[in-house]
Structure 1
Amino acid sequence: MISKFKLFVIISVISFGQLSAQKLYLTDSFKVKKRTFTYHKLKLEKNLKLDLYRPKKLKTIRPLIIYVHGGGFSGGKRNDDVSKTFSTEFTKFGYNVASISYRLTMKGIGFGCSTKADLKIKAFDEASKDLSYAIQYLLKKQKRFKIDTSKIILVGSSAGAEAILHFAYAYNNTILNDDVKIAGLVSMAGALTTLKNINSKTAIPTQLFHGTKDELVPYNIAPHHYCKTTDEGYLELFGSRAIADHLKKIDKSYYLYTVKNGDHSWNSRPIFEAKEHILDFLYFDVLQNKQRKTEVNTSI
């Protein structure tokens, strides 16, 4: 747990006390209803499902958050405690939230240094494919679910964070139409295999949470799991610091939340310990498109 820590907002600090003056998307005033849907049928595997959380009695269209759970592409569930907590909490603020299942292609294989790098990249691709099918399904139901299609936000934890970043900046999508746009990304302890596809046209407002002592997913630039160059699983990744630096360089919106000495537990702790920061980013950077460059530094 973080005890007393200093909070430094380097750019664009918003007083959270001001947020209570707003209602929709900033005040948790809605009750929640949930239903489960099959979004993609598979022949030889279990069908893929999503849990859709919606605010009761809110009849207008609203932003859609798609939450992708963690688990090393080998475990985790769309309805585990972390996923349910995130989905319920943010629906209370007026968002539609879809927590999705996806194929766990690394189950029984793992994501360590002995797992070939090309299998890891394939796992990213397959998760991105399933995420594409989930978006496609939800867009087909946009009127029924009252979705604002211009405000689709992807949130991911650990492997889920790697999946949403890969989907946005590396995956060659042949499922969705080119006019499908993502309005925002929230990555908790995630990383990318390349930065070359992030430019002034493709950049998306991105919030990044990461501990500097994360031993699984690098905070800056390092091999996945800090594998040696001689390991089959060697895969260089660009973590939150590197992604933020790149977005800053091309003058695009980002929100980097760094936890000095923080470990990989920051793949979920922001949901419980930094919810105000997520709400702040979603409202001002995504919904209001303020194009801020924000850095928050905390220490354990």
Structure 2
Amino acid sequence: MFLLALQNVEAQEKYIDSLYEVSEVSREIYAEKDDQELIIDLYQPDNSEKSRPLIVFMHGGGFSGGSPQNPQEVKFARIAAAKGYAVGLISYRLVRKGTETGFSCDYEASGKIETFQLAAEDFMDAIVFMRDNSERLNINPENIIVGGSSAGAEAVLNAVYNPDLMFEDQEKYAGIKFSAVISLAGAIIDARYLNEKESIPGIFFHGTDDNLVPYASAPHHYCENNKPGYLMLDGSKTIADKLEKLDESFLFYTFKGAKHEISGMPFNDLPEVFQFLKNVVFKDQKIQSRIYK
């Protein structure tokens, strides 16, 4: 029985299996902007290596709501931390909170782009903070996986794949490299700007009938072209197609007939997500996979 138990322990894999207890969440303030403290809730595995791969996740909410305490994302953070990751759930400026037009078709396209830019800036500032404090926080700045849901995914994807459209001065973020990106119903402004330099492995979840963030290429919220908020976006299919042309790894889940509910955390598919990350990020394998549900 002892030998069998020992074999079972040895068969378990770091970053795949739940091997660790999870520490109490710790909170860091990564910036103060517009009289707001922007925070990182950090979930860590107990008694693991001292230089842990980092997952940074940005919540959704139409840039007007949501928080790092979203129960789904807290559950995800604890699952990932138990596998050996450090996980940071971050807040950012909700610049559309309390506005009449929100992020709808009545809000001008230029304002939408500026909203993306501000959220992308907050996201990158959180990354800089964690990189600069990596030794104290026991994280490996060479292994950073990022992700987001809905509005958070839009901010993260644009920061990663469209930095030239997001940041006037990228010098502040020089030297930051990402290992992979996870998007739950996200999109970018223009996939044509995604080139070999910005290309990193991507994991995408999207419904074909998403009525807010396009599955392929379409107007944001499907606004009519005479509306102030008419803005073309490139969704998960268009991004995955571009990554395929760039010979980059991706894992793309298509949910036929599904709408924006696919922005929720895909708990049933997380085993495949963590296996992809293990194979691509840590074993340097090339994987291009499309899964239809």
Q: TM-score, normalised by structure 1?
A: 0.89
Q: Name 1:277's counterpart in structure 2.
A: 272
The answer to whether 1:251 aligns with 2:260 is no
Q: Name 2:151's counterpart in structure 1.
A: 159
Larger CA deviation: 196-205 vs 60-69: 196-205
Amino acid at match of 1:152: I
SS in 2 for 1:148: strand
Question: For 1:138, which of 123, 130, 141 is the aligned residue?
Answer: 130
Query: Hey, which bits of structure 1, 4+ residues long, moved more than 4 A?
Result: none
- Percent identity, aligned pairs only, is 38
Cα deviation per residue 1:243-281 (whole Å; 9 max; x = unaligned)? 1111112221111111111111111141x2211122122
Q: Distance in 1 between matches of 2:246 and 2:273?
A: 23
Q: Name 2:27's counterpart in structure 1.
A: 36
Question: How far is 1:175 from its partner?
Answer: 6.0
Question: For 1:111, which of 103, 113, 116 is the aligned residue?
Answer: 103
Q: Structure 1: give runs of 5+ residues left out of the alignment.
A: 1-19
Cα deviation per residue 1:98-134 (whole Å; 9 max; x = unaligned)? 0000000111231111011111111111011111111
Q: Distance in 2 between matches of 1:107 and 1:72?
A: 9
Higher relative contact order (CA closer than 8 Å, sequence separation 6+): 1
Contact 1:133 1:175 in 2 (8 A): no
Question: How far is 1:165 from its partner?
Answer: 0.4
Q: Name 1:295's counterpart in structure 2.
A: 290
Q: Name 1:123's counterpart in structure 2.
A: 115
Q: Name 1:225's counterpart in structure 2.
A: 221
Question: How far is 1:177 from its partner?
Answer: 3.6
Q: Distance in 2 between matches of 1:100 and 1:126?
A: 14
Question: How far is 1:22 from its partner?
Answer: 4.2
Question: How far is 1:202 from its partner?
Answer: 1.8
Q: Distance in 2 between matches of 1:21 and 1:126?
A: 45
Q: Distance in 2 between matches of 1:120 and 1:287?
A: 36
Larger CA deviation: 273-282 vs 224-233: 273-282
Question: For 2:176, which of 164, 177, 180 is the aligned residue?
Answer: 180
Q: Distance in 2 between matches of 1:294 and 1:148?
A: 27
Amino acid at match of 1:189: A
Contact 1:132 1:175 in 2 (8 A): no
The answer to whether 1:65 aligns with 2:55 is yes
Query: Number of matched residues?
Result: 277
Larger CA deviation: 78-87 vs 99-108: 78-87
Amino acid at match of 1:285: V
Which structure shows the higher helix fraction?
2
Q: Distance in 2 between matches of 1:163 and 1:286?
A: 22
The answer to whether 1:195 aligns with 2:191 is yes
Q: TM-score, normalised by structure 2?
A: 0.91
Q: Name 1:235's counterpart in structure 2.
A: 231
Larger CA deviation: 130-139 vs 168-177: 168-177
Q: Distance in 2 between matches of 1:47 and 1:165?
A: 23
The answer to whether 1:45 aligns with 2:35 is yes
